[in-house]
């Protein structure tokens, strides 16, 4: 089809840009075909088509389509308006619609429809419960929401791929996180967005609100501040603190690597792993792989391989220089990839040229996790690697944190763990890997579906078992 003059059609429509058009037109043969043709010609994907009724010989319909972005949607609507006799009555952005008023709410467990229940749930009965907790603060786990509540805390400095967008703009993501906690871990989570970027202020604020929570999930806080915040909170609090951008990603990466090794008859301890991106996720991935027995890891940042002798390293990168890259290899990403078994990308788009992957060992793994645009196009990576994973839902083997954090917190809350240990994370990764049956393992199926409700249960069980196995340590 010849491109229309002035058209700016984006390449790939997405459900994340879903729109509903309410329209009416003469009830004549061929009119609907004209509507669907315009949507297709403009590069949109047609969704549901509903009949609302026929009034005065005019067909009323509601038509859903998917666009690549808002500008693309505007182009489609403008093209539809050019159809003579067709009237566009309303256009609804479905994503904005489901966010109206927020995505979560608090629900009471009791119906306060009689005096006796009110008297027990609130005054005067509640006073006796308060006295019990005052005498023994640990009773808050028994008689309040504390035992099943997690604070999802951010300062809005590293939100998704959007960066520093502020606490208000971070709220929709934190609400979404709370939904995932509830859906896949039966955990009540609450979004807490802080108007400060100061490390000590963030730590102090979380410590002050901690009595009401059984765990703290740090989210979308920029590196390297996130490392310091997490470590300080671990020192001061007696409840689990978990930075999901670090550890959730790391757990799922390890799970994927375990199953990739099963398929290729490789051993984690024998792998040469190149991790591009030395931020929160990259550091956590390196640490969990070391805990699982992998010793040959090369971390790369914008300046290339992190090695002893570099003078531009912050404290965390100095730690990496001391604990990774055992042969002290130098050079850029391309040089590091030579004779490697695994590439893990947690950086940004276009970091790796596909032909660089030729230098990897046979049956290599490419985990290109930058989202929405991976470090290397997955279609190109598949030409050279045995197994390819991404952070996207429209490719096989999605590395998604939701497979990890709901079950990890569920297990930790169940046993009232004071911290989430490295052993718990490794146990969680192994549990996720086991959720793919041996008969179902395949190069395009090394990770369970994010909609597999059994994953959260298995991860929680593994975390509990690891806790009890090491309860005296």
Looking at residue 223, its pLDDT comes to 86
Q: Which run of H or E residues covers position 125?
A: helix 125-135
Alpha-carbon span 42 to 243, nearest angstrom:
42
pLDDT at 473 over 80: no
Over residues 22-34, the mean pLDDT reads 96
Alpha-carbon span 144 to 245, nearest angstrom:
29
Tell me how many degrees the CA angle 347-348-354 measures, rounded to the nearest 5.
Answer: 100
Over residues 135-142, the mean pLDDT reads 96
Over residues 88-93, the mean pLDDT reads 96
- The whole-chain average pLDDT of the chain stands at 94
Helix, strand and coil percent figures for the chain, each rounded to 5: 45, 20, 35
Write down the pTM of the prediction: 0.90
Interval 451-464: pLDDT, tens: 999 999 999 999 99
Report the share of the chain in percent with pLDDT over 70.
97
Looking at residue 161, its pLDDT comes to 74
For the annotated catalytic residues, the residue numbers are 122, 177
Count of CA atoms in the C-beta half-sphere (13 A) of 68: 12
Over residues 129-157, the mean pLDDT reads 97
Q: Are 420 and 460 in contact (CB under 8 A)?
A: no
Interval 371-420: pLDDT, tens: 888 999 999 999 999 999 999 888 999 999 999 999 999 999 999 999 99
Max Cα distance, the chain (Å): 81
pLDDT at 6 over 60: no
Alpha-carbon span 184 to 194, nearest angstrom:
26
Interval 410-467: pLDDT, tens: 999 999 999 999 999 999 999 999 999 999 999 999 999 999 999 999 999 999 999 9
Interval 49-65: pLDDT, tens: 999 999 999 999 999 99
Looking at residue 472, its pLDDT comes to 65
pLDDT at 160 over 70: yes
Looking at residue 372, its pLDDT comes to 80
Interval 322-338: pLDDT, tens: 999 999 999 999 999 99
Alpha-carbon span 238 to 86, nearest angstrom:
64
Report the share of the chain in percent with pLDDT over 90.
91
């Amino acid at each position: 089809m010849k491109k229309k003059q002035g058209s700016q059609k984006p390449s790939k429509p997405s459900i994340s840009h879903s729109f509903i058009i309410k329209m009416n037109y003469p009830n004549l043969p061929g009119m609907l075909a004209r509507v669907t043709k315009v949507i297709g010609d403009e590069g949109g994907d047609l969704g549901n088509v509903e009949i609302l009724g026929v009034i005065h010989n005019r067909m009323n319909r509601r038509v859903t389509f998917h666009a690549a972005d808002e500008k693309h949607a505007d182009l489609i609507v403008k093209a539809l308006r050019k159809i003579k006799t067709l009237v566009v009555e309303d256009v609804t952005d479905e994503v904005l619609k489901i966010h109206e008023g927020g995505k979560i709410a608090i629900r009471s467990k009791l119906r306060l429809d009689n005096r006796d229940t009110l008297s027990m749930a609130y005054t005067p009965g509640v006073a006796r419960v308060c006295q019990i907790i005052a005498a023994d603060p640990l009773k808050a786990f028994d008689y309040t929401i504390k035992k099943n509540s997690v604070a999802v805390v951010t300062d809005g400095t590293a939100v998704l791929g959007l960066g520093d967008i502020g606490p208000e703009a971070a709220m929709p993501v934190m609400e979404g996180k709370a939904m995932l906690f509830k859906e896949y871990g039966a955990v009540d989570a609450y979004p807490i967005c802080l108007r400060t970027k100061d490390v000590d202020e963030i730590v102090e604020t979380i410590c002050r609100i901690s009595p009401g929570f059984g765990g703290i999930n740090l989210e979308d806080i920029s590196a390297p501040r996130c490392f310091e915040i997490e470590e300080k909170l671990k020192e001061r609090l007696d409840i689990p603190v978990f930075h999901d951008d670090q550890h959730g990603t790391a757990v799922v990466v390890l799970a994927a690597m375990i199953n990739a090794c099963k398929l290729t008859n490789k051993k984690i301890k024998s792998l040469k792993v190149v991790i591009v991106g030395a931020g929160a996720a990259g550091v956590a991935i390196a640490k969990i792989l070391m805990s699982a027995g992998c010793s040959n890891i090369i971390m790369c940042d914008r300046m290339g391989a992190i090695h002893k002798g570099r003078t531009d390293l912050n404290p965390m990168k100095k730690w990496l220089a001391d604990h990774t890259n055992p042969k002290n290899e130098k050079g850029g990403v391309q040089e590091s990839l030579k004779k490697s078994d695994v590439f893990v990308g947690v950086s940004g788009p276009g970091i790796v040229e596909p032909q660089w992957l030729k230098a990897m060992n046979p049956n290599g793994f490419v985990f290109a996790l930058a989202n929405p645009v991976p470090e290397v196009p997955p279609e190109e990576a598949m030409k050279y690697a045995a197994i390819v994973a991404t952070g996207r839902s429209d490719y096989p083997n999605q590395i998604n944190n939701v497979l990890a954090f709901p079950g990890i917190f569920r297990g930790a809350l169940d046993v009232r763990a004071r911290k989430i240990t490295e052993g718990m994370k490794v146990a969680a990764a192994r549990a996720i890997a086991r959720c793919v049956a041996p008969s179902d393992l395949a190069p395009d199926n090394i990770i369970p579906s994010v909609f597999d409700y059994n994953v959260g249960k298995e991860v929680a069980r593994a975390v509990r078992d690891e806790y009890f196995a090491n309860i005296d340590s």
